[in-house]
Structure formats: structure tokens, C-alpha cells
Amino acid sequence: MDGDRVRVLLVGESEAEFSSVEAHLHGFNCYCEFVRSWSSGAGVAPHGSFDLILYSVDIKDFQATAAAVLHSSGSVFRCLPVEDSCWWVPTIVRGKQCVGASALRPNEFAQALDKLILLGSRNLPPDTPPAFPFCS
């Protein structure tokens, strides 16, 4: 965390695809940084420097990404386009892997983001129960 600001890394083909999420995050005074690929993101994201990673592109070395976030207080969500909207798939939430977790609709994802941001702004330890029904 950057002081009390939640730090978010956005990884995708264009920053425009994250515009509504980014506006939501800025409403919480989150620090957001956009990169086009994980390899360029790795240069700006040393282990543990981002609280939240949102991505819409294939991450070739996802195991390295997961290893950097697992057992931390960080979270990773993947955006999958569906018709004129998208689904957000929780991959890691507060350091815990979410195998088989259900995808979230945009409004459900916004609620999950709100909880994560509020948890993150309190500097709670990674083992604090997440209280997310989609990831245990």
C-alpha cells in the first residue's frame, strides 16, 4: 500500500477497457497504473507492491504472478469479455487461491472491490478472514 492508498495494477490491451473500473477505484482514491503486458508490468510491480491486479490479457507466466501474490494480502482478478459486458474471475483473493470460484458480474465485482479496498485500507494481516463467498 502507498500510505493508505490501495495500489492497483491494470494489465490489458488498452486502458479504455478498464475505464469504468478505474473510475470506481479513483472514487476510493486508489492509485492505478496501466500496462499492456505482464512483462512490462513486472518492471513496475516488484513482489508485493500492488494490492490488486486486474488483467484482461493472457499472462504467459501466470505461476510467477501467482507466486508473487499468494500468501500476501494481494488479490488478482481476470476480466473475461462476454457479449457487451464481462465477467470477473477471482484468481487470488487476499493471498488465497480461488480454484473453481464463480465469475462475478460487473455489479458483484464492484461490491467485491469495495470490500477489498476497505479491508486493504485498514492494513489487516493477510490471514484475516476474507468474508467473500466466492473464495475460501
Q: Is residue 23 part of a domain?
A: yes
Question: Is it the case that residue 125 has pLDDT exceeding 60?
Answer: no
Per residue in 2-48, pLDDT (tens digit) is: 457 888 989 888 899 899 999 999 999 999 999 887 665 555 555 45
Q: Is residue 63 part of a domain?
A: yes
Q: Is residue 128 part of a domain?
A: no
Per residue in 63-84, pLDDT (tens digit) is: 666 677 777 778 889 898 888 8
Range of the domain at 12: 7-121
Contact 128, 119 (CB under 8 A): yes
Mean pLDDT score, 96-108:
88
- The CATH number for 91's domain is 3.40.50.2300
Q: Produce one character per residue of 62-72: b if its CB has 16 or more CB atoms within 10 Å, e if not.
A: eeebeebbeee
Question: Is it the case that residue 59 has pLDDT exceeding 70?
Answer: no
Q: Is residue 95 part of a domain?
A: yes
* Angle, vertex CA 61, rays to CA 55 and CA 65, nearest 5: 60
Give me the pLDDT at residue 74, please. 82
Q: Is residue 136 part of a domain?
A: no
Query: From CA 56, how far away is CA 100, in angstroms rounded?
Result: 18
Q: Is residue 61 part of a domain?
A: yes
Give me the pLDDT at residue 132, please. 60
Q: Is residue 130 part of a domain?
A: no
Residue found under cell 489487516: 124
